[in-house]
Structure 1
Amino acid sequence: MPRRLLTLTAALALAALGGCSAAGVLNAAVLHKHFRAENGLAYGNALRQKLDVYVPTTDAPPAASHGRPVVVFFYGGSWQTGSRSSYLFVGAALASRGFVAVLPDYRTWPDTAFPGFVDDAATAVRWARDHAAEFGGDSSRIFLMGHSAGAHIVMLLATDGRYLAAQQMSKSDIGGVIGLAGPYDFLPLHDATLEEIFPPALRAASQPINFVAGDEPPIFLAAGQRDTTVGPGNTDRLAAKLRASGDADVEVKHYPRVGHALLVGAFAGPLRGFGPVLDDASGFIHKQTNSEARRSRDGAGDVQGDVYQMRRQRANSATAPPCPAIACVK
């Protein structure tokens, strides 16, 4: 299929169908020569507790001495639908930038309700850390990324320490978090199914914005200005809360020509012209890994390094336990 026609077809499918049916078009454009994939690896016993790993096969960008950064990506689907196989184009895009990409499935409604899918995500992150070296990854450089409901999930891992603590991990084990079009502050609910997914007694605990404490890992938040599914206000309110709580390392990017599905669709080669989402996310990851290297070299004599170490100590001292539209979450 000619590239211009492929781009038009994918864009129209994303616009009309919310991105789900467009996945086949986007995946068809993937060049497999830049990565190898390990598919269907189990991180738990449930049917949907499986994941795929995408490993770069090129030298650009070069791997660090201890391995490549690992990016664990969680897709969206209103916590009800989705499949890791639909996001081949995301795994391939991340691998093309030199990252080991881990794409898990997770339990969805009606098999589970909140917080079951967040528990699954924490388990998958622990698996990624434990197995990073097997794929050339660096277990000390784990990044989380999510789109839509997946962004909600990764931001809960970044703010509410109970989920990672249940996996003997903490916020300080995460090198950074990338949220794409995420619902972070979406109460009250206006959808009968979502009211079942998020039981009344647990709704306050489902909002990432309620757990911001100032000890979060570095965060990159992206929103499409044309998003009518999850309002960009979710991104702006969370960013304001993070900054007000002392999280200085927060980046926010709004993409003027991009809607909800296209924000992740722009990772695919034919659609990258709509917005530099992949470039910005990759740049954020490289910035954090380079900063980590500088902090390791500079040690305690560096003021910025001291602040970073204080944040890590605060995170480690925490002892807290453990595709339909998203109903136009504003």
Structure 2
Amino acid sequence: MKTLMLILAVIVGLALIAGGAILIAINRNGPAVLDTVDRISGGKNNTELLHKQSLGVDPRQKLLVYGERSPDEALPVFIFIHGGSWRSGNPDDYGFIARSIAPEGYIVVLGGYCLRENGRYPAMLQDTAAVTAWVHENITDFGGDPERIVLAGHSAGAYNVAQVALEQRWLEQARVPAQAIRGVVGLAGPYDFYPYDSDSTRAAFGSVGVGAESQPVNHTSSDAPPMLLVHGEQDSLVKPRNTRALAAALEDSGADVETLFLPAMTHNDPLLALANPWRRDPRIFDAVTSFLGQHTALSVPVQAETP
């Protein structure tokens, strides 16, 4: 019995060490580690990389299209824009998002944008709109429906999609019809951060002299697309007040908005919850897929009554 208890203790100890090592690696290079762990632990998944497209001279201006080959019908499209404080990030590291969402009946597009000096305002918005425009023009080639697009992002990426969806000029300039955007999902996004009080916001926004017009909270209207805003209450990097402020502004404008606040979660936890094995906590995944299903469903024609 003592030997068995000792073996169990060693196993538990090794598991804790391994888990701690994974968390340290996630903190250092989170998305790439998440992608690897998800690929190993996720089991069989028919999601494939269907296409990779360059959108500009900067190598970060690119997108990746994921889904199942030759779907039986045109599927709605989930565009995901990565975070990284407008300084880092690579859509190549976010395959776990595609493997999470695509099996629910979606084509998933992972979009990139210029970073650091090349990515200062408004470049991140122009690049996000360019990803959306490419999807609207080309996604039928990969089984997607260009009139049923949901924009989503984490952290800086959540800012990008919220601002592009709310300040209509970005999609107008990219020739994307507003009605094609069926919804927006923001995970731990900054939406109300002027005056700028961090190195990343001063570098990306303050350095070019842009002011309050850069803030999603200042562009709400009754015709804004439906939004789902998710935030961890323990997020110390992007404070939850950002989501509260944007949700309140949307509600005051008469727009459709849902919020999900997670009491024990920090900044990266909403992203973590979309990768295996952390999807065992289904709250965020269920909220996202429910929102997608509600807002991307094809309308059913009303049958005339038989006299």
Q: Which residue of structure 2 aligns with residue 36 of structure 1?
A: 48
Per the TM alignment, residue 210 of structure 1 is displaced from its structure 2 partner at its CA by 0.7
Secondary structure of 2:222's aligned partner:
coil
Distance 1:30 1:88, change over 3 A: farther
Q: How many pairs are equivalent? A: 288
Matched, 1:155 2:162: yes
Q: Which residue of structure 1 aligns with residue 10 of structure 2?
A: none
Matched, 1:72 2:79: yes
Q: Which residue of structure 2 aligns with residue 97 of structure 1?
A: 104
Q: Distance in 2 between matches of 1:54 and 1:108?
A: 23
Q: Which residue of structure 1 aligns with residue 242 of structure 2?
A: 234
Matched, 1:223 2:231: yes
Q: Output the TM-score relative to the length of structure 1.
A: 0.80
Of 67, 87, 112 in structure 1, the residue corresponding to residue 94 of structure 2 is 87
Secondary structure of 1:177's aligned partner:
strand
Of 210, 220, 239 in structure 2, the residue corresponding to residue 212 of structure 1 is 220
Secondary structure of 1:260's aligned partner:
coil
Per the TM alignment, residue 268 of structure 1 is displaced from its structure 2 partner at its CA by 0.8
Larger Rg: 2
Q: Distance in 2 between matches of 1:83 and 1:6?
A: 28
Distance 1:284 1:118, change over 3 A: same
Q: Kindly indicate whether the alpha-carbon contact (under 8 Å) linking 2:26 and 2:33 is maintained by their aligned counterparts in 1.
A: no
Per the TM alignment, residue 228 of structure 1 is displaced from its structure 2 partner at its CA by 1.4
Distance 1:97 1:11, change over 3 A: farther
Residue identity in the other structure for 2:113: Y
Deviates more, 1:145-154 or 1:200-209: 200-209
Residue identity in the other structure for 1:22: V
Per the TM alignment, residue 225 of structure 1 is displaced from its structure 2 partner at its CA by 1.8
- Which structure 1 segments of 5+ residues have no match? 300-330
Residue identity in the other structure for 2:283: P
Q: Which residue of structure 2 aligns with residue 293 of structure 1?
A: 299
Q: Within 5 Å, which residues of 2 pair with 1:259-274?
A: 259-274=266-281
Secondary structure of 2:258's aligned partner:
strand
Secondary structure of 2:190's aligned partner:
coil
Q: Distance in 1 between matches of 2:89 and 2:238?
A: 17
Q: Kindly indicate whether the alpha-carbon contact (under 8 Å) linking 2:37 and 2:276 is maintained by their aligned counterparts in 1.
A: no
Per the TM alignment, residue 193 of structure 1 is displaced from its structure 2 partner at its CA by 4.3
Per the TM alignment, residue 86 of structure 1 is displaced from its structure 2 partner at its CA by 1.3
Per the TM alignment, residue 31 of structure 1 is displaced from its structure 2 partner at its CA by 4.2
Per the TM alignment, residue 57 of structure 1 is displaced from its structure 2 partner at its CA by 5.3
Q: Kindly indicate whether the alpha-carbon contact (under 8 Å) linking 1:221 and 1:252 is maintained by their aligned counterparts in 2.
A: yes
Distance 1:272 1:11, change over 3 A: farther
Distance 1:142 1:220, change over 3 A: same
Of 3, 12, 19 in structure 1, the residue corresponding to residue 23 of structure 2 is 12
- Which structure 2 segments of 5+ residues have no match? 1-14
Q: Distance in 2 between matches of 1:144 and 1:154?
A: 6
Per the TM alignment, residue 258 of structure 1 is displaced from its structure 2 partner at its CA by 2.1
Q: Which residue of structure 1 aligns with residue 33 of structure 2?
A: 22
Q: Which residue of structure 1 aligns with residue 4 of structure 2?
A: none
Distance 1:30 1:57, change over 3 A: farther
Q: Distance in 1 between matches of 2:40 and 2:152?
A: 23
Secondary structure of 1:257's aligned partner:
coil
Q: Kindly indicate whether the alpha-carbon contact (under 8 Å) linking 1:114 and 1:198 is maintained by their aligned counterparts in 2.
A: yes
Secondary structure of 1:229's aligned partner:
coil
Q: Distance in 2 between matches of 1:85 and 1:114?
A: 23
Q: Distance in 2 between matches of 1:110 and 1:201?
A: 14
Distance 1:21 1:104, change over 3 A: closer
Q: Distance in 1 between matches of 2:199 and 2:171?
A: 30
Distance 1:42 1:209, change over 3 A: same
Q: Which residue of structure 2 aligns with residue 168 of structure 1?
A: 175
Residue identity in the other structure for 1:254: F
Q: Kindly indicate whether the alpha-carbon contact (under 8 Å) linking 2:222 and 2:254 is maintained by their aligned counterparts in 1.
A: yes
Matched, 1:123 2:130: yes
Q: Distance in 1 between matches of 2:106 and 2:244?
A: 28
Cα offsets for 1:242-282 (capped at 9, x unmatched): 010111x2111112232211111111120012342122111
Q: Distance in 2 between matches of 1:21 and 1:136?
A: 27
Per the TM alignment, residue 119 of structure 1 is displaced from its structure 2 partner at its CA by 0.2
Identity %: 33
Q: Output the TM-score relative to the length of structure 2.
A: 0.85
Q: Kindly indicate whether the alpha-carbon contact (under 8 Å) linking 1:174 and 1:217 is maintained by their aligned counterparts in 2.
A: yes
Per the TM alignment, residue 171 of structure 1 is displaced from its structure 2 partner at its CA by 2.7
Residue identity in the other structure for 1:95: A
Q: Distance in 1 between matches of 2:233 and 2:92?
A: 27
